[in-house]
Amino acid sequence: MPYVTVKMLEGRTEEQKRNLVKKVTDAVAETTGAPVENVVVFIEDMPKNHYGVAGKLYSDK
């Protein structure tokens, strides 16, 4: 049973997340041979103040 975690900055719509889950599921099933019913996708929305690049919080951009 493949498990996939997608971490991304907050702000995506439910429709974008729905499409992401469908496409990731299809890609994993196609490449691993796992049935789509066994593919699990976790989405972790990260607040912009929980993410830093080059020593600065993303929320400070």
Q: Give percent of the chain with pLDDT exceeding 70.
A: 100
Q: What DSSP assignment string belongs to 25-60?
A: HHHHHHHH---GGG-EEEEEEE-GGG-EETTEEGGG
Residue 61 has pLDDT above 90, yes or no: no
Q: Which CATH class is domain 3-60?
A: alpha beta
- At residue 34 the predicted structure's pLDDT band, cuts being 50, 70 and 90, is very high
35 as an active site residue: the answer is no
pTM: 0.86
By C-alpha distance, which of 26, 47, 46 is closest to 37? 26
Q: Where are the domains of the chain?
A: 3-60
Q: Give percent of the chain with pLDDT exceeding 90.
A: 95
Segment (H or E) for 22: helix 14-32
Which of 1, 2, 11, 33 is labelled catalytic? Answer: 2
Q: Quote the longest CA-to-CA distance of the chain.
A: 43
Cβ count near 55 (within 10 Å) = 5
pLDDT of 40-49, one tens digit each? 999 999 999 9
